[in-house]
Copies of this chain bind each other. A is one copy, B any other.
Amino acid sequence: MIHSTGEEMLLAGEKLELELKAKLFRGFSDTSRLSILEALRDKPLNVGEIVQATGLSQSNISNHLGCLRDCGLVTSEQEGRFTYYRLTDDRIDSLLRVAEELLSDVAKGVYLCTRYEVAKGDNDGE
């Protein structure tokens, strides 16, 4: 069987959507980006405030913010010499909420998963 029905092969559009979806999730799959998004759930913040909230370095945050902005997850707005960032869409909050619900049940499995270690962040050291 070399080609069979073709039913199971992905169409070009489906493949593209798959890649977009993976890229979207990748925005949430890093502790630094995730902590930025979490910080912005409450209210818009400027970069300095995000530094305060996360404990990450300024350049690191700027890099991640650039990615999150490119990916359409956050938008920026100049105010004097401050740049305020906010989540672009309420469904980002929804996504995080569903993830939290899911996590509350499969947390044990995720906790035990050692195949892909999460990068050890410096989020509580100073």
Contact = CB atoms under 8 A, between A and B. Distances in A.
Interface string A45-59: 000000011110000
B25 A25 contact: yes
A29 B114 CA distance: 16
Taken together, the copies of this chain in the complex come to 2
A33 to B, nearest CB: 8
How many A residues touch the partner, as a band?
A: 35 or more
Shortest Cβ-Cβ A-B pairs, 9 listed:
A72-B109, A72-B106, A25-B28, A26-B29, A70-B113, A25-B29, A29-B29, A71-B113, A91-B102
Interface of A: 2-4, 8-10, 12, 15, 17-26, 28-31, 34-35, 38, 52-55, 66-67, 70-73, 88-89, 91-92, 94-96, 98-103, 105-116, 118, 121, 123-124, 126
